[in-house]
Amino acid sequence: MSRRVVIITEIIAPYRIPVFNALARQDGIHLHVIFLSRTDASMRQWRVYEDEIKFSYEVLPSWRKRIGKYNLLLNQNVVTALRNAGPDVIVCGGYNYLASWQAMHWANRNGVQFLLWSESTARDQRGQRMLVESLKKIFFGRCDAFVVPGKSALDYLEQMGVPAESIFIARNAVDIDLFSEIGRKSRAEAARARTQMALPARYFLFVGRLVREKGVLDLLAAYRQLPANLREQIGLVFAGDGPLRAELELLARDVYPGMVHFAGFIDRNDLALYYGLAECLVFPTYTDTWGLVVNEAMACGLPVICTNVAGCAAELVQSNGRVVDPGSDSQLSQAMIEIACDPALREGMSAESETMILEYSPDAWASGMVRAAHAMESHD
């Protein structure tokens, strides 16, 4: 039986387009995506790849205001959009916007199955506020089922009292074919690419916003702790921008020998070039519900050093890398030394990354969503 599935999500994020395209291709699924905003220029500099969209979608009129750490987003026409779409199943990507609550109430009133697409984990710092936890419990109690990206998010829902039979896994994914192909091309033309982008011959790579909670200060401190002779051979590249950039650049001036390069914000296709030429991704985050940069790096064949609070760490970082505690620059530096100084270990980790990530494809994510959508048929 065909199911009309409506996904409600915040913005047209480049990493979501491939998975939504994959879901739209699935037999028995009619997909429509409601975006609450086209993008969020205050937080993201992503290009919006609307030309790649192969699914039905709309962007609701919105008003956005950022107040400190809080992001207020108000939408018009939420109920009208849902009524026009006529869904059998609504998949809501979060509970932190008024539109999410409107959609939940509309679904409950109209007998439409309502699924929460939740990435929260027990170790996510954003989930440690009493008011937030109270609102979550109310929202969770009105959901028919839940979709999570992996084990950490599943464990969290079970801790919140959600029965296991109501939870479905749709593994978080990126366009692994695109990243893998561009990564291979960059390595084939490595000398020219390094010169063009002013990159060191060897380097560790960080990808993300330059903010304290991403652990970027710890990473710079860990690089400083590397033996001087190793810093002469291998650099550190920050691909991203953010409020800590000026402070990091100032601190980096005192790192000698060594090379610390600030690339600024890099768009998707060019980012794959940076992955392809790097020796290892370092993801020293203090709080991340998943960490899709790890998926991207693995698609390009990189070993990964990741903190144990990242939602992806439990599944994606095994024999292909090292898992460390957040805030431990000594553990970071030790892992960096180990990987940088052992070519055979690095080569084995690289091959393992490329193999493991094949199970985290857009089609695998879509299959998980299909299972969740069709499981709800018996409840209609």
Alpha carbon 268 to chain centroid distance?
13
Q: Are residues 166 and 209 in the same domain?
A: no
Mean pLDDT of 40-66: 88
Residue 69, pLDDT score: 67
Angle between helices 329-340 and 343-356 (to 10 degrees): 100
Mean pLDDT of 49-69: 90
**Is the confidence at residue 62, as pLDDT, over 60?**
yes
Domain count, the chain: 2
Determine the Cα–Cα distance for residues 240 and 42; give it in Å rounded to an integer. 14
Candidate from 33-47, 234-248, 290-304 with smallest mean pLDDT? 33-47
**Is the confidence at residue 144, as pLDDT, over 70?**
yes
Q: Are residues 108 and 233 in the same domain?
A: no
Parallel, antiparallel or unpaired: strands 62-67 and 70-75: antiparallel
Q: Are residues 34 and 54 in the same domain?
A: yes
Q: Tell me the percentage of the chain whose pLDDT exceeds 90.
A: 84
Residue 148, pLDDT score: 97
Q: Are residues 57 and 144 in the same domain?
A: yes
Q: Are residues 152 and 292 in the same domain?
A: no
Tell me: the pLDDT tens digits for 204-247?
A: 999 999 999 999 999 999 999 999 999 999 999 999 999 999 99
**Close Cβ partners of 199 (under 8 Å, ≥ 6 residues apart):** 193, 235, 237, 261, 274, 277
**Is the confidence at residue 127, as pLDDT, over 60?**
no
What are the backbone angles phi and psi of residue 74, rounded to the nearest 5°?
A: -115, 140
Q: Are residues 337 and 373 in the same domain?
A: no
Q: Are residues 113 and 51 in the same domain?
A: yes
The DSSP string of 210-255 is -SGGGTHHHHHHHHHHS-HHHHTT-EEEEEB--TTHHHHHHHHTT-
Q: How confident is the model at residue 67 (pLDDT cuts 50, 70, 90)?
A: confident
Amino acid at 341: C
| CATH code of the domain covering residue 158 | 3.40.50.2000
Residue 102, pLDDT score: 97
Mean pLDDT of 331-352: 98
Amino acid at 201: A
Determine the Cα–Cα distance for residues 376 and 380; give it in Å rounded to an integer. 7
**Is the confidence at residue 6, as pLDDT, over 70?**
yes
- First-last CA distance in the chain: 12
**Is the confidence at residue 351, as pLDDT, over 70?**
yes
Q: Are residues 129 and 183 in the same domain?
A: no
Domain containing residue 321: 176-359
Q: Are residues 18 and 144 in the same domain?
A: yes
Tell me: the pLDDT tens digits for 168-216?
A: 999 999 999 999 999 999 999 999 989 989 999 999 999 999 999 999 9
Is residue 223 exposed (0-12), middle (13-18) or buried (19+ Cβ within 10 Å)? buried
**Is the confidence at residue 86, as pLDDT, over 90?**
yes
Q: Are residues 121 and 194 in the same domain?
A: no
Predicted TM-score (pTM) of this structure: 0.94
Q: Are residues 46 and 161 in the same domain?
A: yes
**Is the confidence at residue 128, as pLDDT, over 70?**
no
Alpha carbon 262 to chain centroid distance?
21
Q: Are residues 346 and 372 in the same domain?
A: no
